[in-house]
Chain A
């Protein structure tokens, strides 16, 4: 079974400050990696994903995440946050080659951006 650890349950920052949301995973096989975002009382939306190739992946709204195989990490970063980025962020992994197609989620990090 997979394990995903999001090291911070809450991250408060001021608007225009940089932010990093940390995610580590443990797995005996290679994985695909995802970040999802959830706005209050809504479902989750995919923010970005790493499947293969370049270890740095970007989203359309300025977030980026880097896959670090040696540290089994996939931290999410943004150089300058906006109030509208306030949401809960979930890191998730899926096994490469699995016939189950399921995701394993971390417990989430609540990002709160203050004016």
Chain B
């Protein structure tokens, strides 16, 4: 079964700790994306990667970091510098960077920081 997996589904952390969210895809897609979803805010782009070993900041990259060492993996680290990290995080991928292509989404990770 091809798709995107995100783990874990729920994650709890104490304030001041870094946390890494996993995103893996077996669709052989070049492009991958991280979004943050807050109630009433829609989806906001954190980082995206058009190809392995390359990534760009999205609209709200401060306090986050990513890596793209393998085509199938695009982990997101939420650092202690992120002022309000509690949110629902969605990873997505598409065949390539062209705007015509559908983005496929993972099931999301709900992060709670207390």
- Which A residues have a C-beta under 8 Å from some C-beta of B? 4, 6, 9, 32, 34, 36, 41-46, 49, 51, 90, 94-103, 105-108
Q: What's the minimum C-beta distance from B54 to chain A, rounded to whole angstroms? A: 12
Give A46 to B102 CA distance when docked, in angstroms: 7
- Which B residues have a C-beta under 8 Å from some C-beta of A? 4, 31, 33, 35, 40-45, 48, 50, 56, 58, 90, 92, 94, 96-103, 105-108, 110
Q: What's the minimum C-beta distance from A33 to chain B, rounded to whole angstroms? A: 10
**A/B pair count, beta carbons within 8 Å:** 69
Give A44 to B97 CA distance when docked, in angstroms: 18
Interface contact B42-A105, CB-CB below 8 Å: yes
Q: What's the minimum C-beta distance from B16 to chain A, rounded to whole angstroms? A: 27
Give A51 to B58 CA distance when docked, in angstroms: 24
